[in-house]
Amino acid sequence: MKNTVSIIIPIYNIQEYIKPCLESVLRQTHNDIEVILINDGSSDDSGSICDSYANQDDRVRVIHQNNLGVSAARNKGLAATTGEYIMFVDGDDMIDTNMVAYMLDKASTNSNCTLVSCAVTRRHNNIGISGENTLRFNKVEASIDMLYMNNMDNGPCAKLIPSKIAKSIKFNPKITIAEDLDYIYKILQKIDNEVFINSSLYYYRIAPGSAMTKPFTERRMDGFIATRGIVSHALKTGNDRMINAAKFRHFAEAFFVLSSIGGEQRKYRKQYNIACDEFNKYRFSVIANKEAPKKFRLLAVLSIINIKLAISLSKLRIRKKV
């Protein structure tokens, strides 16, 4: 089906956000879409809300499953798609009405473009097309840009991915934190070029109970599985810029873990020590890396004097979507 876009939306206990999310998706100016809703064992009214939309609009399909996690839900959605392109939207987020049409246009008018992405905003009133400012990356440049958290978001959302490429990679269900980073990094290794649209067409909602608002749990260590794998892959490429970017991202992941643990070092002593070891391992690499964000380089320098003080000061300024 030419130019049909399959939109995969995992759903879990977000009954208050589903309607604005689906309304933004179903109002797309590009009408040739299929919407795959995966109800991941919700215990609230999320499942019935999804069913009601499927009964009203034949572009919507609902898959109900036991609670297996977001990775399993997205994999289930991938298997059910029939479109030429795939997009992911989280069930508590919203997208601009023109997002699908605009991304398709960029994909068709840029030669050898195999992925289109756009900026993400956390302010609903900022969503929309703003000018024609686009950037173009090859797969190495795209990977480096994403690892440094410069332009492209590291999640699967806010991207238009050819179905053949999207389906060639599975989300790792063993990783519960940073599974999106793991997936997108692998996707980027399969593209020719990426076009990044510097307009915020995707609204990311930080909802209560999201990963950003939850206290530290042992699952937070899963992020190291993703970033260690990225470092391992980068080393095999022999590309110094890629290697430095991967080392930086692993260093940043260690910081996010240490910051999340906060004052509970005694309770999570083992996890704290592991994160400290990883943080210290790449600290000097980050200091010497002129491409690394200045705030992280400063963090690395301050940590030589006092790591706890450096993290306490830095976490006031550094934010991450996880």
Catalogue all structural domains in the chain, each as residue range(s) with its CATH number. 5-203 (3.90.550.10), 218-314 (no CATH)
The reported pTM is 0.91
Under the banding of pLDDT at 50, 70 and 90, the label for residue 176 is confident
With CA atoms as reference, report the closest residue to 180 among 157, 200, 152, 205: 157
For position 320, what pLDDT does the model report? 45
Segment 113-131 shows an average pLDDT of 82
Q: What is the pLDDT of residues 218-229, one digit of tens each?
A: 888 888 889 999
Segment 102-111 shows an average pLDDT of 92
For position 321, what pLDDT does the model report? 40
Under the banding of pLDDT at 50, 70 and 90, the label for residue 112 is confident
> Per-residue pLDDT for 1 more than 50?
no
Segment 154-175 shows an average pLDDT of 95
> Per-residue pLDDT for 124 more than 80?
no
DSSP at 157: B
Segment 293-314 shows an average pLDDT of 87
Joined tokens for residue 74: 């997205």
Residue 251 contacts residue 296 (beta carbons within 8 Å): yes
Q: Rounded distance, CA 22 to CA 287, Å? A: 44
Q: Rounded distance, CA 287 to CA 226, Å? A: 22
For position 81, what pLDDT does the model report? 98
For position 209, what pLDDT does the model report? 54
Q: Rounded distance, CA 174 to CA 220, Å? A: 12
Q: What is the pLDDT of residues 253-292, one digit of tens each?
A: 999 899 888 778 788 999 999 999 999 999 999 999 999 9
DSSP at 131: S
**Which of 137-146, 218-227, 302-311 has the highest mean predicted lDDT (pLDDT)?**
137-146
Q: Rounded distance, CA 107 to CA 161, Å? A: 10
How do strand 113-121 and strand 60-65 relate by DSSP bridges?
Answer: unpaired
> Per-residue pLDDT for 212 more than 60?
no
Number of H helices, E strands in the chain: 12, 9
